[in-house]
């Protein structure tokens, strides 16, 4: 029964000698019984659309680690599919080896973002977080960050050794240029890449959309996941009908509730991490957080930069005055998606098909009434939205 086990997760796209060195150095430094090298199915924090298929990344990890008895490769995350969350993997390792001490190995870049990872507090509770610097300057910066994480309750180790500042991106670029970077990857990995024609100009792509679907599948309950797919579908329909961008509508629909099933503390952590202050109503209404935190998450974690998409997500719960067409489309798609089932849903659907202003008026009035009935505060943006629509409708009629 191994006593000291480290998890070393990553996309390993492809695994290179720097990865292997990091794992082996840590094994020696921390007297680890084993390092579990775990290729992720979809990296939740780093979206790429040129990733090699999971089976190939797994196979290359096996080839690279085979010579070293302290390294084992696991297909746990790849078999779990969906977004790969470190916390789930650590929990599984903990169940599998209840008496072992767990460590989490990270490179410098990963270590600096670890505070934003899904259920960071649980990660910190389950494992000592270890980082390998690339040089002395890096080590200083990592040690500083370690102190911050320790203040949040984590235990950290910043290694004394350094590992080369290599990246899989460089390996891929060299391969794309027809070179075989034998100094960076093991010869067996190089052979595998050549045999399977990975990282050549015309490799298979896994689309952004597929990746988004996998991310929400991993984060949401089955019901909320189905809801998100249904909202995406309805948003595309409305976008086509009213002249908004259907691709943006799909993305916004898929991702609009991305944090809806994330606990309040984690959402507050996101606000804190990115310096976002809540207004008075938001403070008192946790149901509003998922929209605002969701938009921040999309931008800062998933790297989505499209302002229209970000605003559509941000205002999908409260609405606001001066909404863009895409914002309106998402707001109404959320109200009329196929999974919705409330008393007036047929009226809402009929209005949405006929007249956006009339539908918005109905939807926003419905929300305000509902909130008043439950004696919950109405957000000023919601009131401003309502006022603006009423003025517009009055203008048209008068």
**Interacting residue ranges for Fe ion, rule: CB under 5 A:** 257, 334
Q: CB of residue 121 vs ligand DGI: minimum separation in angstroms?
A: 24
Residue 345 interface partner, choices ligand DGI, Fe ion, none, CB cut-off 5-8 Å depending on type: none
Q: Which is nearer to ligand DGI, 260 or 349 (CB)?
A: 260
Chain position carrying tokens 């109200």: 335
The two structure tokens encoding residue 146: 């370690």
45, 115, 140, 155 from 146: Cα distances, Å: 20, 10, 10, 8
How many CA atoms lie within 13 Å of 377's alpha carbon, on the beta-carbon side?
A: 13
Q: Are 8 and 131 in contact (CB under 8 A)?
A: no
Q: Which is nearer to ligand DGI, 138 or 334 (CB)?
A: 334
Q: CB of residue 220 vs ligand DGI: minimum separation in angstroms?
A: 11
Q: Which is nearer to ligand DGI, 81 or 376 (CB)?
A: 376
Furthest-apart CA atoms within the chain: distance in Å: 81
Q: Which is nearer to ligand DGI, 246 or 377 (CB)?
A: 377
Q: Which is nearer to ligand DGI, 145 or 260 (CB)?
A: 260
Residue 371 interface partner, choices ligand DGI, Fe ion, none, CB cut-off 5-8 Å depending on type: ligand DGI
Q: Which is nearer to ligand DGI, 104 or 285 (CB)?
A: 285
SS3 83: strand
Q: CB of residue 384 vs ligand DGI: minimum separation in angstroms?
A: 11
Residue 19 interface partner, choices ligand DGI, Fe ion, none, CB cut-off 5-8 Å depending on type: none
95, 118, 296, 304 from 45: Cα distances, Å: 25, 10, 13, 11
Residue 5 interface partner, choices ligand DGI, Fe ion, none, CB cut-off 5-8 Å depending on type: none
Q: CB of residue 280 vs ligand DGI: minimum separation in angstroms?
A: 11
Q: CB of residue 287 vs ligand DGI: minimum separation in angstroms?
A: 4
DSSP bridge partners of 8: 37
Q: Which is nearer to ligand DGI, 173 or 283 (CB)?
A: 283
Residue 287 interface partner, choices Fe ion, ligand DGI, none, CB cut-off 5-8 Å depending on type: ligand DGI
Interior/surface letters 255-279, b for 16+ CB within 10 angstroms, e for the rest: bbbbbbebeeebbebbbeeeeeeee
**Interacting residue ranges for ligand DGI, rule: CB under 6 A:** 257, 260, 285, 287-288, 291, 316-318, 334, 367, 371, 376-379, 382
Residue 172 interface partner, choices Fe ion, ligand DGI, none, CB cut-off 5-8 Å depending on type: none
Nearest to 327 by CA among 336, 319, 337, 339: 319
Residue 338 φ/ψ, nearest 5 degrees? -60, -25
Residue 378 interface partner, choices ligand DGI, Fe ion, none, CB cut-off 5-8 Å depending on type: ligand DGI
Helix H segments across the chain? 17-29, 54-65, 76-80, 86-96, 108-113, 120-126, 136-151, 168-176, 187-196, 208-219, 222-242, 246-255, 264-273, 280-284, 289-300, 307-314, 325-336, 345-354, 356-373, 380-397
Q: CB of residue 316 vs Fe ion: minimum separation in angstroms?
A: 6
Q: CB of residue 257 vs ligand DGI: minimum separation in angstroms?
A: 5
Nearest to 23 by CA among 66, 81, 76: 66
Q: CB of residue 5 vs Fe ion: minimum separation in angstroms?
A: 39
Q: CB of residue 245 vs ligand DGI: minimum separation in angstroms?
A: 21
Distant-in-sequence, close-in-space partners of 135: CB < 8 Å, separation ≥ 6: 162, 165
Q: Which is nearer to ligand DGI, 12 or 335 (CB)?
A: 335
| Whole-angstrom distance, CA of residue 281 vs CA of residue 278 | 8
Q: Which is nearer to ligand DGI, 17 or 336 (CB)?
A: 336
User: CA torsion angle for 300, 305, 306, 311 (degrees, to 10)?
Assistant: 30
Residue 377 interface partner, choices ligand DGI, Fe ion, none, CB cut-off 5-8 Å depending on type: ligand DGI
């Amino acid at each position: 029964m191994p006593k000291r086990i480290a998890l070393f997760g990553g996309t390993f796209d492809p695994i290179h000698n720097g990865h292997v060195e990091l794992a082996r150095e840590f094994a020696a430094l921390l007297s680890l019984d084993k390092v579990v090298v775990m290729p992720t199915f979809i990296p939740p924090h780093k979206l790429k659309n040129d990733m090699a298929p999971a089976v190939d990344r797994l196979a290359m990890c096996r080839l690279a680690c085979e010579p070293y008895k302290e390294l084992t490769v696991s297909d746990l995350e790849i078999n779990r599919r969906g977004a790969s969350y470190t916390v789930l993997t650590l929990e599984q390792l903990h169940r599998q080896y209840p008496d072992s001490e767990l460590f989490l190995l990270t490179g410098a870049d990963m270590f600096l973002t670890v505070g934003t990872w899904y259920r960071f507090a649980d990660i910190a509770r389950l494992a000592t977080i270890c980082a390998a610097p690339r040089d002395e300057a890096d080590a200083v910066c990592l040690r500083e960050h370690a102190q911050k994480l320790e203040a949040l309750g984590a235990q950290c180790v910043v290694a004394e050794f350094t590992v080369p500042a290599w990246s899989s991106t460089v390996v891929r670029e060299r391969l794309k240029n027809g070179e075989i970077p034998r100094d960076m990857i093991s010869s067996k990995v190089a052979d595998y890449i050549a045999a399977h024609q990975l990282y050549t100009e015309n490799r298979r792509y896994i689309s952004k959309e597929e990746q988004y679907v996998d991310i929400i599948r991993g984060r949401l309950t089955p019901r909320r996941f189905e809801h998100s797919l249904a909202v995406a579908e309805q948003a595309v329909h409305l976008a086509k009908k009213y002249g908004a961008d259907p691709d943006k509508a799909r993305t916004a629909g898929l991702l609009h509730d991305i944090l809806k099933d994330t606990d309040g503390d984690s959402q507050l952590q996101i606000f804190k991490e990115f310096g976002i202050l809540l207004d008075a109503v938001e403070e008192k209404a946790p149901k509003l957080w998922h929209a605002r935190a969701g938009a921040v998450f999309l931008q800062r974690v998933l790297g989505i930069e499209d302002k229209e998409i970000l605003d559509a997500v941000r205002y999908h719960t409260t609405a606001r005055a001066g909404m863009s067409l895409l914002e309106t489309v998402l707001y109404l798609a959320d109200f009329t998606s196929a999974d919705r089932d409330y008393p007036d849903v047929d009226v809402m659907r009929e209005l949405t098909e006929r007249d956006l202003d009339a539908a918005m008026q109905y939807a926003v009035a419905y929300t305000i009434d509902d909130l008043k009935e439950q004696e919950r505060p109405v957000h000023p943006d919601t009131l401003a939205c309502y006022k603006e629509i009423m003025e517009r409708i009055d203008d048209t009629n008068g």
